[in-house]
């Protein structure tokens, strides 16, 4: 169900920091019309750490309502509290999401066995396809291939968002977890190399502001038009760099504001991006051809 270009959606906010439900609904619809294959609300890019639980759930509901079956929705449902993650997972199932994305528990630093038990408990509690989100750079812990293979045996655990940037991982995971285990890159820079090693697509940050190009790149790759996919990636590379030259989603929200999609407001502790970063983001958007 999830393949190609899936976008880790930003959460539009008003200048006063309140959730802008209208802008978010419009943004979801625009993403679908631009060719995005799947919506991924309330991940890290969606500022899930600073959303209230009520806001988190409302964002998922809006994404499902707007998608209306046109594309699948993978709702962020992660927490370093297993009980909270179960609550988010059950809500996503009730709201009609097609899958959930559950991050490895951050700050607690669980062992491999702790991660196995955490994900198993969530998968047992909600009957909805689950994707493991392995991002050691933010969560500190790194799920091993062996632990992932154990979890892949659960009927509800169907794939991974891999943000390790370790290009040996997808092939090891393919061998350990099976070819039907869906592997989505969580790293825009290496997505084509990831696909070449057994990946099925991406959950993209860049797709927030260049959805058509990211979707075209993935479609070209899987249609065997490798040179075309590489040419698009080369066009997008300065934008990938710019959107991560400060903590995300600061730069990508600024880029979205230049396109009139939302304000550039991020909730504290994320600060407004530096003027030098703004210059770099604008230049990269012009290089990609998405800003005049």
Name the residues annotated as catalytic.
Answer: 133, 161
> Are 17 and 214 spatial neighbours (Cβ–Cβ below 8 Å)?
no
Architecture of domain 4-225: Alpha-Beta Barrel (3.20)
- pTM value surpassing 0.95: yes
Domain boundaries, the chain: 4-225
Q: What is the pLDDT along the chain (292 residues), one digit of tens a residue?
A: 899 999 999 999 999 999 999 999 999 999 999 999 999 999 999 999 999 999 999 999 999 999 999 999 999 999 999 999 999 999 999 999 999 999 999 999 999 999 999 999 999 999 999 999 999 999 999 999 999 999 999 999 999 999 999 999 999 999 999 999 999 999 999 999 999 999 999 999 999 999 999 999 999 999 999 999 999 999 999 999 999 999 999 999 999 999 999 999 999 999 999 999 999 999 999 999 999 9
Radius of gyration of the chain (CA): 18
């Amino acid at each position: 169900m999830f393949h190609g270009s899936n976008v880790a959606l930003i959460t539009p906010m008003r200048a006063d920091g309140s959730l802008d439900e209208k802008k978010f609904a419009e943004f979801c619809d625009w993403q679908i019309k631009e060719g995005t294959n799947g919506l991924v609300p309330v991940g890290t890019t969606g500022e899930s750490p600073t959303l209230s639980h009520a806001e988190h759930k409302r964002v998922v509901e809006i994404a499902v309502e707007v998608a209306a079956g046109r594309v699948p929705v993978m709702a962020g449902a992660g927490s370093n509290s297993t009980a909270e993650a179960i609550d988010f997972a059950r809500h996503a199932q009730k709201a009609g999401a097609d899958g959930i994305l559950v991050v490895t528990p951050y700050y607690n630093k669980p062992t491999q066995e702790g991660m196995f038990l955490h994900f198993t408990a969530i998968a047992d509690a909600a009957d909805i396809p689950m994707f493991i989100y392995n991002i050691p750079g933010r969560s500190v812990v790194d799920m091993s291939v062996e632990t992932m293979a154990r979890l892949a045996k659960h009927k509800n655990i169907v794939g991974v968002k891999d943000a390790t940037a370790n290009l040996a991982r997808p092939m090891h995971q393919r061998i350990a977890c099976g070819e039907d285990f869906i592997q989505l890159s969580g790293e825009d820079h290496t997505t084509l190399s990831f696909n070449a090693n057994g990946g099925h697509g991406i959950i993209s940050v860049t797709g927030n502001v260049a959805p058509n190009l990211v979707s075209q790149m993935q479609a070209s790759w899987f249609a065997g038009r490798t040179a075309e996919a590489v040419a698009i990636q080369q066009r997008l590379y300065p934008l990938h760099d710019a959107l991560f030259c400060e903590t995300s989603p600061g730069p990508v929200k600024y880029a979205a504001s230049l396109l009139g999609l939302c304000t550039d407001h991020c909730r504290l502790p994320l600060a407004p991006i530096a003027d030098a970063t703004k210059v770099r983001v604008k230049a990269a958007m012009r290089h990609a051809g998405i800003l005049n």
